[in-house]
Amino acid sequence: MIPARYAATRFPGKLMQDLGGKSVIRRTYEATINSGLFDSVYVVTDSDIIYDEIISHGGVAIMSKKEHTCGSDRIAEAVENMDVDIVVNVQGDEPFTDRESLEKVLSVFYEEDSDKIDLASLMTPMEDWDDIMNPNSVKVIVDENNYALYFSRAPIPYPRDREINHTYHKHKGVYAFRKQAILDFYHLSMRSLEASEKIECIRYLEYGKNIKMVETQHEGVEIDTPEDLERAKKIINKENLLNPKPVTATKVITSNHRNFPMVPKVVFGEGCFNQIQEIISPERNGVAPFIYLIDSVFENNPSFIEERIPLLYTDEIIYISTAEEPKTSQVDMIVSKIKDNYQYIPSGIIGIGGGSILDLSKAVAIMLSNPGSAADYQGWDLVKNKAVYHVGIPTISGTGAEVSRTTVLTGPERKLGINSDFTPFDQVILDPTLINGVPKDQWFYTGMDCYIHCVESLDGTYLNAFSQSYGEKALDLCKEIFLENNLTKEDIDAKLMMASWHGGMSIAYSQVGVAHAMSYGLAYVLGTKHGIGNCIVFDKLEEYYPKGVAVFKQMKEFHDIKLPQGICADVTEEQLNVMTKVALSLEPLWENALGCDWKSKINADKLKEIYRSL
């Protein structure tokens, strides 16, 4: 039974609103029919408009004989003289009603305690604090056996002690009644609690009926407001895109231009880190925490970072060691820990550190809203759900991770980035004072990561005016920073931050090349850190980047940098095979470096020769 009243209080006429070419009530009716669970499905309405809508499209509808204050009364009138055992009430404003949820609510009548159950209903966990506080979202609390204790539009229980890890549940408007239970309801008068909350199932509780609640993960969209309707339309549009109907067209226009996202907000300047509370406060979602992932190098210097962070409620700092490159397993572990420790999805993830921490933070933000393992998303455009709000605060410059569309992770089978529209940070804070005190070698290696980005982008076959404009500026800044001695330390730090930003942008519409591909192989097998790995490889790549390598050697000599030697001296043939396999799997990098016919210009034997020289 689908009760359907035209004159809804909050959104009059909502059931007849257009939703992807069909009315809301028609979509609900068809979804219920398509579940295949029912002997009969009826729309019960007081409206000629809704009645005609269902009948005209081949459905079955019943006109209510009386005015009713709630859907249960309307159903009770309709079923009073029907020969039925179980009656299911599906709300007319639930166009995404699904079979699994309906099966769950029906299954309780086959369980051991079924003789105690008068009716059953659905609930779904709530994580959004705005939704918990929204009076249009009815909350339910249950006992240890999932029998309903009370329903309310207020947040129950009230979160007086926010350390208590309670899971709130939203009541979903699907009921399964024994016929006698709904007839009893029809003949019982409304009491004060129901009248106050305007929640009809409270009447059952007030008269001692047992309501068994069943948890479902299906969220759907209830059409209570015009805003809900717009959300529903987006879901329908997405489904249409994923399941397009065949069309006949005389001409199909295609485009190869990618609509890449960029970091929407950035603040730059000495001391701007002190504005962090002002910057992130608008994104705080009730008591849902901000989680700070910080390079463990700062753990013993709390005044530099920790004491300047405005921790509120259950906000948490997690220090992360960067002794090794970030791994998919590490991301999974952090995500699992956050989900285990907190009732709500975090308000945001704040990454503070170098490229490893920034990559890790982007990946954690993605995986908090996407199922499975981070390893499942290594590749291009595999992420489907928007990441949790995430902020990047670099404390070393050069990697471009603060602006990049990629988060590079070592997985069980390869080292590869999660490259998606949802990867870039929502906010970046560039404070040059945060890169004070970086050890000289590390400063050089990460700076050279930026330099190598530029060389590989500017020498690549993917080059276009967009990438070129950023790459040339970053390259000029790198030469100024690493080959001149007329800059102050403050100027160097500020310019290197800008070089890193421009270097990261230079590959947004382009790609990196040989050095990065081979460095990934080193990192996967030997655990070599990205920045130093790039330098070790690039130093041997005169054949591919003669001018770039010549300038690199000048920079290395200018700063008296001694690269590690012989790191591949003792690698086995098996290890070499893995290195080359990882490197050659990065096809876009090789195509950018060598062109579409790159496979005729490079092979495993050639790569092994270069690796052996390192």
Split the chain (614 residues) into runs of 10 and give each run's mean pLDDT: 81 87 91 86 91 89 80 87 90 86 87 89 87 90 95 88 79 87 87 90 91 84 83 73 46 60 94 95 85 96 94 92 92 93 87 96 94 90 91 95 92 85 96 92 95 95 93 96 94 96 89 94 92 96 97 97 95 94 92 94 95 95
Which H/E stretch holds residue 203?
helix 202-206
CA distance 312 to 381: 35
Q: Give the 3-state secondary structure of 505-525.
A: HHCCCCCCCHHHHHHHHHHHH
CA distance 449 to 396: 12
Residue 198 C-beta-side C-alpha neighbours within 13 Å: 7
Predicted pLDDT at 526:
93
The two structure tokens encoding residue 298: 């700062």
Nearest to 213 by CA among 157, 168, 162: 168
Residues 6+ apart with CB under 8 A from 221: 95, 96, 228, 231, 232, 235
Nearest to 502 by CA among 398, 370, 416, 381: 398
CA distance 246 to 169: 41
Counted residue by residue, the chain has a size of 614
Domain architecture of the chain: domains with CATH: 2-238 (3.90.550.10), 259-437 (3.40.50.1970), 439-613 (1.20.1090.10)
Residue 195 C-beta-side C-alpha neighbours within 13 Å: 4
Strand partners, 350: 292, 391
Question: Could you give the C-alpha distances from 263 to 295, 392, 402, 427, 465, in angstroms and in order?
Answer: 22, 10, 9, 6, 20
Residue type, 299: E
Maximum pairwise Cα distance, the chain: 95
CA distance 147 to 5: 29
CA distance 457 to 593: 8
CA distance 403 to 416: 17
Predicted pLDDT at 35:
83
- Alpha-helix residue ranges (DSSP H) falling in 243-392: 276-280, 328-341, 355-367
CB atoms within 10 A of CB 192: 9
Nearest to 423 by CA among 434, 442, 408, 445: 408
Under 8 Å between Cβ of 383 and 390: no
Under 8 Å between Cβ of 392 and 495: no
Alpha carbon of residue 267 to chain centroid: 23
Which bin fits 16, alpha (ψ -120 to 50), beta or left (φ > 0)?
Answer: alpha
Taking each helix axis from N to C end, the angle separating 440-458 and 465-483, rounded to the nearest 10 degrees, works out to 150
What single-letter DSSP state applies at residue 487?
Answer: S
CA distance 27 to 4: 13
What is the value of pTM for the model shown?
A: 0.60
Under 8 Å between Cβ of 110 and 46: no
Residue type, 7: A
Predicted pLDDT at 367:
94
Predicted pLDDT at 153:
93
Under 8 Å between Cβ of 471 and 457: yes
Under 8 Å between Cβ of 114 and 176: no
Under 8 Å between Cβ of 538 and 448: yes
Question: Could you give the C-alpha distances from 524 to 146, 327, 408, 415, 445, in angstroms and in order?
Answer: 49, 10, 12, 6, 18
3-state class (DSSP) for residue 572: coil
Under 8 Å between Cβ of 519 and 539: no
CA distance 89 to 83: 16
Which H/E stretch holds residue 428?
strand 427-430
Residue 154 C-beta-side C-alpha neighbours within 13 Å: 8
Backbone angles phi, psi at 391, to 5 degrees: -125, 135
Strand partners, 139: 152, 170
Residues 6+ apart with CB under 8 A from 606: none
Question: Could you give the C-alpha distances from 288 to 160, 167, 546, in angstroms and in order?
Answer: 15, 12, 53
Question: What's the alpha-carbon Rg for the chain, to the nearest Å?
Answer: 30
The two structure tokens encoding residue 450: 């930026």
Backbone angles phi, psi at 199, to 5 degrees: -130, 110
CA angle 63, 66, 67 (to 5 degrees): 105
Question: Could you give the C-alpha distances from 614 to 601, 610, 611, in angstroms and in order?
Answer: 21, 7, 5
